[in-house]
Structure 1
Amino acid sequence: MDVCMKIIKNNKDFFDQSLDEIKLLKYVNKHDPADKNHILRLYDYFYYREHLLIVCELLKANLYEFHKFNRESGGEVYFTMPRLQSVTIQCLEALQFLHGLGLIHCDLKPENILVKSYSRCEVKVIDLGSSCFETDHLCSYVQSRSYRAPEVILGLPYDKKIDIWSLGCILAELCTGNVLFQNDSPATLLARVIGIIGPIEQEMMAKGRDTYKYFTKNHMLYERNQDTNRLEYLIPKKTSLRHRLPMGDQGFIDFVAQLLEVNPKKRPSASEALKHPWLSYPYEPISS
């Protein structure tokens, strides 16, 4: 049987994070004995010459690498609407399962979704190294920046809905080949979100522990220029999801817009998102 063997750097931080991931994978796999929920399978782990080695199922490229290769090779586009629909259902089922166990993934991004079968368009979610239980004391620095939810940036309490935001960002990226909220700092990320999705509600701004780092008292977005050390206003460029996703059909755009609801209270859970009409739209079957 082919397996993937991950060798952990002999460094306390990597080691501790990997032990946490092993514990979580064992817990998650135990609750999914039939392997139906699209999460990586852990087979074994052991020490060898003062290194920790983790043995898990062998998967194929991650969605970031595969999408890049697909575009650069000039072949036929892989992420068509039917395949995006299939990937979405699998990711939402994985999130529904994790969230049902009280876990938040906390780092969902294209690099952490791996292909299991290209022809059948099967994927699996990996990397529980940043995951935490909702009941844990949640750390304020979570999620890779381009996929980070507004509530995390503003320093608000967060929950499993941050994974739903990340999935919305991923689907837009798979559709176009470009990061949806291109940014080089949290402030420029907020400018993109406001420009594409819309304003952040006053209540969220008022309650955010870190709102002052990005907004003036009269709600102007600003950033410190690293070269001049002067504060500069950022004016969000007004556009829309429809404009940013020209290849997407209306059902897809409506669906992504729901996942990218700025207010987490209005954002659907994984179970609610699975009921969206776009996910049952009868596209042509995926040819294997």
Structure 2
Amino acid sequence: MRVNTSHPSAFITLITSCQPRVFSSSGFTNIDLSKPIEEETLPDYLAERYYPVHIGEIYNSRYQVVTKLGFGSSSTVWLCRDLYHKCYITLKVHVRSRRPIPEVEISNYLRTIQDVHGGEKCVRLVHDSFQVQGPHGVHQCLLYQPAGVDISDFMHYLPEGALPEYLLRPAMRIVLVALDYLHQAKVVHTDIQPNNILLGVDDVSILAEMEEDEIPNPVPRKQLQDRIIYTSCSMPLTNGEPVLSDLGEARFSKEKQCGLIMPSVYRAPEVMLGMSWDYKVDIWAAWTLFEQGHLFKNKSLESTSDHAHRFAEMVSLLGPPPLENLVPIPDQSLEGRESQLEGGEKGIFLQFIRKVLRWLPEERPTALELLSDEWLRGSEY
């Protein structure tokens, strides 16, 4: 599968040579083999799921790996030199899978939209894609415009651990422009979180510096029998405008949908409650994008109790929800459900039932109190 793209040099810094570089095979720190590092520290890590990328390796006859940028449960990420266009580009190597990557399909679709919106510049689309055959299966490789640190990491550098207003306001505008672009295209991101908002790279020379530094100062690594686990290189802070990234969980959505989406800590109430949802789930996560800490203290939603606590937190902050947010309300009444009695007898019976059917246990009468109820006493008195 391929993504048709124009010449990338308009947005990616040029490199000085189209010739492959020779990277150091010595002079680095060897990490203890018994110590888990990088992707090995993930709870579900299985070595055979990951492609064994090597710094200096060339993919698709043109993309040479320069250094490692990061890792996750579904991929590792690398800075590469595009030897054909003489530029830098980011390579994401997915864990093995024969399934098409939805992000490629969505990027293809968005590129076909002819209307100029402006938000297309605020969304990081897949630039190109190809497959590699690994020791244990096929791996999808996606290429992107290089970007800087995510908003979450950026906030850690700030004194208050949150964006000040003068940064928050323009950043929020850019994210909303990006979301408006996606929503008008009938695409729902479904995974809006700080890790998916990246700073742009305005000073392109930092990428060349990262490459040059890898030659005399190769990153520490762990050399295993079948692979090398490299440590990630820290991306310097950049001043570029934010971009919305990672369409890996995005959906085409022309109407409301059902089903579980979003990481639990960012989950909108309609998703948590099993209701239908639409593009407005992307708006729900605005707080956690730019504020210090999570809005809700109860982060897990693994049990019924967790859902109850999260719902209680929502009510405490937002007030009581609309009834339709709890469950669909049937069109019925106690009067309609009672079919055995008529007239006044029915009325006093329903008074009795309404005493019994109270939400709060403390509002329900005792057995002794019910014994004196008018309907229960009947005509004997």
The two structures have a TM-score, normalised by structure 2, of 0.48
User: Residues 103-125 of structure 1, C-alpha deviation per residue, up to 9 Å, x if partnerless?
Assistant: 11111111111111566451111
Cα distance, 1:189 vs structure 2: 2.1
Describe how 1:1-288 pairs up with structure 2 within 5 A: 1-12=87-98, 15-16=99-100, 18=101, 20-31=102-113, 36-37=118-119, 38-49=122-133, 50-68=138-156, 70-71=157-158, 74=159, 79-117=163-201, 120=239, 122-135=241-254, 138-167=257-286, 169-171=287-289, 174-175=290-291, 177-183=292-298, 184-185=300-301, 186-207=307-328, 218=359
Structure 1: state its 5+ residue gaps.
209-216, 221-288
Give the equivalent residue in structure 2 for 1:277.
Answer: none
Cα distance, 1:203 vs structure 2: 2.5
**Larger helix percent:** 1
Q: Size of the alignment, in residue pairs? A: 200
Distance 2:245 2:320 in 1: 33
Query: In the alignment, residue 189 of structure 1 is paired with which amino acid?
Result: R
Distance 2:245 2:321 in 1: 31
Secondary structure of the 2:254 match is: coil
Query: In the alignment, residue 21 of structure 1 is paired with which amino acid?
Result: E
Distance 2:117 2:141 in 1: 22
Tell me if the contact between 2:129 and 2:140 (Cα under 8 Å) persists in the aligned partners: yes
Query: In the alignment, residue 94 of structure 2 is paired with which amino acid?
Result: I
Distance 1:56 1:219 in 2: 56
Structure 2: state its 5+ residue gaps.
1-86, 202-236, 302-306, 330-357, 362-381
Tell me if the contact between 1:156 and 1:207 (Cα under 8 Å) persists in the aligned partners: no
Distance 1:193 1:45 in 2: 41
Distance 2:117 2:107 in 1: 12
Structure 2 vs 1, CA of residues 126 and 33 (structure 1 numbering), >3 Å: closer, same or farther?
farther
Measured on the aligned residues, the alpha-carbon RMSD in Å equals: 2.7
Tell me if the contact between 2:117 and 2:181 (Cα under 8 Å) persists in the aligned partners: no
Asked which structure has the greater CA Rg, the reply is 2
Tell me if the contact between 2:148 and 2:238 (Cα under 8 Å) persists in the aligned partners: no
Structure 2 vs 1, CA of residues 33 and 122 (structure 1 numbering), >3 Å: closer, same or farther?
farther
Cα distance, 1:139 vs structure 2: 4.3
Tell me if the contact between 1:146 and 1:189 (Cα under 8 Å) persists in the aligned partners: no
The two structures have a TM-score, normalised by structure 1, of 0.62
Structure 2 vs 1, CA of residues 35 and 102 (structure 1 numbering), >3 Å: closer, same or farther?
closer
Structure 2 vs 1, CA of residues 164 and 52 (structure 1 numbering), >3 Å: closer, same or farther?
same
Distance 2:169 2:288 in 1: 13
Tell me if the contact between 2:268 and 2:285 (Cα under 8 Å) persists in the aligned partners: yes
Secondary structure of the 1:46 match is: strand
Secondary structure of the 1:206 match is: coil
Cα distance, 1:77 vs structure 2: 6.4
User: Residues 120-150 of structure 1, C-alpha deviation per residue, up to 9 Å, x if partnerless?
Assistant: 4511111112111223783411011121111
